[in-house]
A and B are shown apart, each in its own frame.
Chain A
Amino acid sequence: MEGFAIFFAGVDIGSTMTKVVILDKDRGIRARVIGPTGAEHRRLANRVMEEALKKAALSFDEISYVVATGYGRINVPFADRQITELSCHAKGVASFFPNVRTALDIGGQDAKGLKIRNGELVDFVMNDKCAAGTGRFLEVLADTLGLRVEELGSISAKSKNRVRISNTCTVFVQVEVVTRLSEGVPLEDIVAGVHDAIASRAVNMLRRLKIEPDVVFTGGVAKNIGVVKAVKEHLGYDVLVPEEPLLSGAIGAALIGQELTLKAMAKGESLPRKERRLEEASFFS
């Protein structure tokens, strides 16, 4: 494979969304696929990989190395290696923003804070025990208000007088939000209040790492402009958000795959690889 255009795949099976990227040897994104995770991780992993290969117009044999990450990483049967999402996120984030020192990642069911020095993960904090402060919190809220989660950010931008949310627990906030609505509080003020609550929780978590700029915000929740704004307010300075905040884990995984491959090549070795075969390759729903 040496000397040819070699490709690296990163598969990130998160609790809510599954992300795949294929990078070329110059770290350019050749293909990306994002889809909901659902219950059947294995079948899904095969399917999204197949889709990514199709988009990239590559055969599976042309992929030099596949790294799986995320909480469903053990369910990627074709991955050459599994690596924790913390290492992959750190690598991905540092590839977008080399000066990053603190990274916040809020996904569907967890929130993580990463301390990064010279592109490497040195410490982290995490909440995956409580829905408050995760993407799930916003989903429950959107559902309660009869909105799509994608709409929340622009709605909150209209707020002039955001409400103060007094509860922490998602279940109780749901009740609080309904009460506020029945009192006639404008929708945008409620949504802005909820964004403020999630941001305050996230920044408090980050403080345990001692926050230093540059601060980068990734994960699905970073797509919500209202939460990004609230995080900036709580931090007191700017926050960088990559163009594709969902992909930092998958990109990091592919980059780690590339590093491992190059290291092995430099020593004249080659890394053990899985058979390049997808199960149920014909499956498409």
Chain B
Amino acid sequence: MAYFMGIDIGSGTSKGVIIKDGKPLAYHLLPSGVNYKETAERLRKELLAKAGLSPKDIAYIMATGHGAESIPFSNDQVTDIRCCARGINSIFPSVRTVIDIQGMSSQVIRLNEKGRVINFVVTERCAAGSGRFLEIMANVLRIDLKDIGPLSLKSKNPVTFTAGCAVFGESEAISRVSEGASKEDILAGVHKALASKVATLVERVSLEMDCAISGGGALNVGLVKSVEEELGIQLLVSPQPQFVTALGAAVMAENRHKGISET
């Protein structure tokens, strides 16, 4: 029996997936920390334990993400862009555009029916376009990151953020709090600001439907709603959105093992 593993070492969190015949059996997520090698080892161990497998059951391991080079036990590595496209294609074959919102960057990828990348843009130079902006704001407002989405949906009067910079946005949020703005209105404004950055990325690759959203940002219902409003479309929200890239790596591992061409 052949099982395949995809490991995605991101700048914030590391994700691993084990699949068999293209179907996920086990997921695991860890903070990446500073020692990627150690993190990768732990991730593999815990994934195997969850799936009830031993290392020799895994026929091929594909590494991806920011720290892919630091994984000593992988058979090969590919870029996270290709993995994300491949992962979303295995979940939603109809998707031609995927918006991937991660902790330190956001990317929009255009892909074909086979899950191959046609075009992509990445914002990695500015925190205001990434999940990091949401973390900063959750921190300022002393709200758990997982609660900011639902809370923002209660907003009646979203605050407008003028700067487009996470650092200035933080000061703006503090000023608005001191003026008496509600947390939900501030959060709705934050989501709108991030959604508008994402929308400019989408414009640059030219949107083709269906459009999906993945990455940690897809767990935030407020952000998903804002992106939908900004683009005027309905998004497919990936299940287990943080694992899409790792899943794609696992799918590529399986294809590689079976000699299926990737080009």
Q: Which A residues are within 8 Å of any B CB, using their own CB?
A: 39, 109, 128-132, 136-137, 140, 167-172, 175, 179, 182
Contacts and interface: CB of A to CB of B under 8 A. Distances in A.
B34 A169 contact: no
Contacts of B153: none
A171 B34 contact: no
11 contacts: A39-B175, A128-B163, A129-B165, A129-B168, A130-B163, A131-B168, A169-B166, A171-B132, A172-B127, A172-B132, A182-B34
B34 A167 contact: no
Given A175-B104, A182-B34, 17 more contacts: A39-B175, A39-B178, A129-B163, A129-B168, A130-B163, A130-B164, A130-B168, A131-B165, A131-B166, A131-B168, A136-B167, A136-B168, A168-B125, A170-B127, A172-B104, A172-B132, A179-B34
A174 to B, nearest CB: 9
Contacts of A137: 167
B145 interface: no
Contacts of A132: 165
B30 interface: no
Nearest to B127: A171
Contacts of B175: 39
A130 B165 contact: yes
B122 interface: no
Interface in B147-167: 163-167
Q: Which of under 10, 10 to 19, 20 to 34, or 35 or more describes the interface residues of B?
A: 10 to 19
Contacts of B34: 179, 182
B53 interface: no
A3 B166 CA distance: 54
Contacts of B168: 109, 129-131, 136
Interface string B125-153: 11110001000100000000000000000
A87 to B, nearest CB: 23
B108 to A, nearest CB: 19
A141 to B, nearest CB: 11
B73 to A, nearest CB: 24
Contacts of A169: 125-128, 166
B125 A171 contact: no
A129 B126 contact: no
Given A168-B125, A172-B127, A140 B167 contact: yes
Contacts of A130: 126, 163-165, 168
A27 B165 CA distance: 40
Nearest to B11: A175
B163 A171 contact: no
Contacts of B165: 129-132, 170
